Structure 1
Amino acid sequence: MTMTVAIVGRPNVGKSTLFNRLVGKRLALVDDRPGVTRDRREGDARLGHLSFRIIDTAGLEEAKAESLEGRMRAQTEAAIADADVLLFMIDAKAGITPSDRSFGELARRSGKHTILVANKAEAKGSESGTLDAYALGLGEPVEVSAEHGDGMGDLLRALALCVPDEGDEEEDSDAGRRIRVAVLGRPNAGKSTLINALLGEDRLLTGPEAGITRDSIAVDIERHGVELRVFDTAGMRKRARIEDKLEKLSVADGLRAARFAEVVIVLMDATHPFEEQDLRIADLVEREGRAVVLAISKSDLVKDQQGFVTRMREEADDRLSQVKGAPVVLVSGLTGEGLDRLVRAVQQAHEVWNRRVATNPLNRWLIETTDQHPPPAVSGRRIKLRYITQPKARPPSFVLFCSRADALPESYVRYLVNNLRASFDLPGVPIRLTLREKDNPYAEKE
């Protein structure tokens, strides 16, 4: 099914120019005057390897329903309802206006996947407007020049995240609702056995030999109403021990599965948990920005299970502080123990990975946190932390506007990240905190 993309935004930000570029023809009228486009205009667009249906819309304006502008707005709202993805366009040169804020809220309420596009990024002074765009809460702006074609590669990458893998022939209409889960671990940790147990059949080849699995195999699993697409992967040994070309390709395929997953189950052997390679795999998952669930396999070999799980949780928080609070689940592919707990843990990790925190609570948290532990003074000057917002989730990512961003010590950044995790209940997911030097966009201008 072809994806439908609608370009929305206030008048005269360059929507029709981008529309023409994506369809490869001058179908839409373009002029410096605002309000040229009134009706919805549709076309077949192509960008890189992606083909999709594109809708050009009238500029969003506040107006009475019976007026011409009101009817234009109704057409735009209908386009938003029909679309799978919204390209919310702003004029980076002009900066954020009250209309942008108002209609940014409309895009958020639609529930559609929204890509924030900062047009006219080639213009002098556009950087300030792009930074201001973070305050819309619609994610990181994609900087483009619709007129000159700059930034189309970045726009392609953003759009590609909204569509399923084109090479996956098994993709169906339910796949978008399934949580994508990759199972990673050392060879012979029991990955295929675990997935067979979840599936209830011997779908994947298993055995005592290490390295049976080579390709990343996807299977669809539904358990207690939770729908998963689970990828079995090849066991990952230390890089120095991998000599066989086929094993290298198998590991690379497993890494690709992790990049396309939303939640990664790091499976460890209960008889030898938290070995160096287990920690390397968990660290790789964190760097890829995926939610982590730690599963300890072969639980049938553990006697004091409650005490063992407590020790494993303590060790996980100590040795994997970058995903502190990641759930630890004891499982057995042979007996079926812990499978329901594992599926619930995956579901909860996915929810945390998608979690958004509103701007007001975030900034109240920033005031309280800095009052308790102010940032250090560097060269006799106190660093000021002015404003924080969350531009995107998957994983939770925050932008902190401050003075002298390069001077803020890494230890204080870790303190902020740990406090964010504890204050807003974000266990087991990577947290991205980016520092930017910019005044509070909500501060009154002189």
Structure 2
Amino acid sequence: MSFTLAIVGRPNVGKSTLFNRLVGKRLALVDDQPGVTRDLREGAARLGDLRFTVIDTAGLEEVTDDSLQGRMRRLTERAVDMADICLFMVDARTGITPTDQVFAEILRRRAKHVILVANKAEGRAGEEGALEAYALGLGEPLRLSAEHGEGLGDLVQVLMPLADAFEEQSEETTPETDVTLTEEEAEEGATDPRWPTPEKPMQIAVVGRPNAGKSTLINKLLGEDRLLTGPEAGITRDAISLAMDWNGLPVRVWDTAGMRKKARVQEKLEKLSVGDGLRAVKFAEVVVVLLDAAIPFEQQDLRIADLAEREGRAVVVAVNKWDVEDDKQGKLRDLREAFERLLPQLRGAPLVTVSAKTGRGLDRLRDAIERAYTIWNTRVPTAALNRWLAGMIEAHPPPAPQGRRIKLRYMTQAKTRPPGFVVMCSHPDKIPASYTRYLVNGLRESFDMPGTPIRLFMRGQGDRNPYKGRREKNAGALRKHLDKKKG
């Protein structure tokens, strides 16, 4: 998805109708009664050659209190802040209302890009209202009919240059993950050149439960109170990124909203904030899971760490509020035992104790992040991998289902960020998960890759074997040499 488009406007102007048309399904309820949509609804949109995320919002109303309408308005404003493009829809048949003018002023201040659309503009009845929309000062209004699909071609023409700009911006800022290695790189185990630079800094997401001290930690790194903090849980609403030089290491740090158990996330605004934090994990290279020393490794902490591992990101676990701990040695021993027991998929990942309040342990945290990033970029030479594989098979041969021995023929590294390996074998579907875990754990120990996610793929004999024919080729060359010598 190249960009996010939020459809906003007064109630009953046709936002949900356009949303359904863009996603190609009747996902949003549509009715003549105003105010049907209350929550934000996201969908994967398709318009011509464009693919993007579209958000349907509640109708904007001039309410600022804590009533249902007031909360709906705040949620819509949150979507405006989050979206790359806002499509401001007015009703061409009703004409421009004072409410439209109020919200046009809000969008001028808050939205990055605004596209003005006069809906229900089909026929003569909508012409006058479409002309009135010029008075909003948001440029030329696009005339369309969401119900009949008219005018969508004009919308594509307006979105196309914006989509191209967002695509270029995404390529510049989005970190490379699942980087495919060439045969030469796999053979040699070359050093990865993608070390962070000021132009492309290391992307770090700080995630954790509410009130773990994420914003306080980042403020301490920056040396100033840039992010709002306090004793109340859940102050941070959206993912905020800040670029900085961390003792010579160029980084961009994402502060995210606290992630609570799904059953406890009641406010729709908080649901959106948690979704924003999950997106920050996907766009990070290193994820720092921040725990509260008083209540570490609760269920939500484990889910967050597991999410980061499944997304293939380097993970560092930091235990905050260490300054108030009395029995530090005993607590640290318990933490390490719980970490190994509860998160075996991250065995060996750094566990660092810090105090965001006093700044103690932040140097250790930086070193742990740099080390995790280096391991995440590990490349192992093919020759070393195959010597290792032969030793692993000799120590513990694969099982023989129904008496047929599985043969592991050779192994190579296919990807980095995180490290990904391919084993060519017979009957890949018969290899149990326990044997795959045995190999992954062996890779961690033998090639010094603690904690980083490792992807191991088993492929059948039908796949291309880079060693196939090499022995025959060498034998043919030897025969030719001997024949030449005889002659």
TM-score (norm 2): 0.57
For the pair 1:225 / 2:255, whether they are aligned, the reply is no
Gaps of 5+ in 1: 1-45, 53-83, 85-111, 117-132, 140-162, 164-171
* 8 A Cα contact 1:218 1:230, kept in partner: yes
1:444 to 457, 462, 469: 469
SS of 1:379's equivalent in the other structure is helix
Q: What aligned pairs does 1:23-422 form with structure 2 within 5 A after superposition?
A: 49=164, 135=183, 137=185, 174-176=198-200, 178-422=201-445
Kindly provide the amino acid, as one letter, of the partner of residue 199 in structure 2: A
Count of aligned positions: 295
Kindly provide the amino acid, as one letter, of the partner of residue 364 in structure 1: R
In 1, the alpha carbon distance for the partners of 2:341 and 2:291 equals 16
In 2, the alpha carbon distance for the partners of 1:218 and 1:228 equals 10
Tell me the CA shift for residue 113 of structure 1: 11
In 2, the alpha carbon distance for the partners of 1:380 and 1:366 equals 22
In structure 1, the partner of 2:483 is: none
Tell me the CA shift for residue 215 of structure 1: 1.2
SS of 1:175's equivalent in the other structure is coil
Tell me the CA shift for residue 377 of structure 1: 0.5
Kindly provide the amino acid, as one letter, of the partner of residue 296 in structure 1: V
Closer, same or farther in 2 for the Cα pair 1:233/1:114, shift >3 Å? closer
- Once the two structures are superposed, residues 207-243 of structure 1 have per-residue CA deviations (whole angstroms, 9 ceiling, x without a partner) of 0111100111111232321221100000000112212
SS of 2:392's equivalent in the other structure is helix
Tell me the CA shift for residue 316 of structure 1: 1.1
In 2, the alpha carbon distance for the partners of 1:359 and 1:173 equals 29
In structure 1, the partner of 2:451 is: 428
* 8 A Cα contact 1:309 1:328, kept in partner: no
Tell me the CA shift for residue 441 of structure 1: 2.2
Kindly provide the amino acid, as one letter, of the partner of residue 443 in structure 1: K
In 1, the alpha carbon distance for the partners of 2:177 and 2:216 equals 36
Kindly provide the amino acid, as one letter, of the partner of residue 240 in structure 2: I
In 1, the alpha carbon distance for the partners of 2:334 and 2:386 equals 36
SS of 2:212's equivalent in the other structure is coil
- Once the two structures are superposed, residues 165-214 of structure 1 have per-residue CA deviations (whole angstroms, 9 ceiling, x without a partner) of xxxxxxx98231x2110000000111000111111110100001111001
In 1, the alpha carbon distance for the partners of 2:451 and 2:245 equals 23
* 8 A Cα contact 2:179 2:417, kept in partner: no
In our comparison, the structure showing a higher alpha carbon Rg is 2
SS of 1:258's equivalent in the other structure is helix
Tell me the CA shift for residue 416 of structure 1: 0.6
SS of 2:451's equivalent in the other structure is coil
Closer, same or farther in 2 for the Cα pair 1:330/1:384, shift >3 Å? same
SS of 1:218's equivalent in the other structure is strand
Kindly provide the amino acid, as one letter, of the partner of residue 369 in structure 2: V
Kindly provide the amino acid, as one letter, of the partner of residue 276 in structure 1: Q
Tell me the CA shift for residue 49 of structure 1: 4.1
In 2, the alpha carbon distance for the partners of 1:361 and 1:173 equals 31
In 2, the alpha carbon distance for the partners of 1:113 and 1:262 equals 8
- Once the two structures are superposed, residues 135-161 of structure 1 have per-residue CA deviations (whole angstroms, 9 ceiling, x without a partner) of 55579xxxxxxxxxxxxxxxxxxxxxx
* 8 A Cα contact 2:208 2:289, kept in partner: yes
In 2, the alpha carbon distance for the partners of 1:440 and 1:367 equals 17
Tell me the CA shift for residue 318 of structure 1: 1.8
* 8 A Cα contact 1:134 1:389, kept in partner: no
- Once the two structures are superposed, residues 300-330 of structure 1 have per-residue CA deviations (whole angstroms, 9 ceiling, x without a partner) of 1112323422332222122111111011111
In structure 2, the partner of 1:14 is: none
Kindly provide the amino acid, as one letter, of the partner of residue 430 in structure 1: P
In 1, the alpha carbon distance for the partners of 2:335 and 2:378 equals 26
The range that moved more, 195-204 or 222-231, is 222-231
Kindly provide the amino acid, as one letter, of the partner of residue 373 in structure 1: H
Kindly provide the amino acid, as one letter, of the partner of residue 385 in structure 1: L
Quick one: percent identity of the two aligned structures? 57
In 1, the alpha carbon distance for the partners of 2:339 and 2:442 equals 18
Closer, same or farther in 2 for the Cα pair 1:373/1:302, shift >3 Å? same
Q: Please provide the CA RMSD for this pair.
A: 2.8
Closer, same or farther in 2 for the Cα pair 1:114/1:294, shift >3 Å? closer
Tell me the CA shift for residue 134 of structure 1: 7.3
Kindly provide the amino acid, as one letter, of the partner of residue 204 in structure 1: L
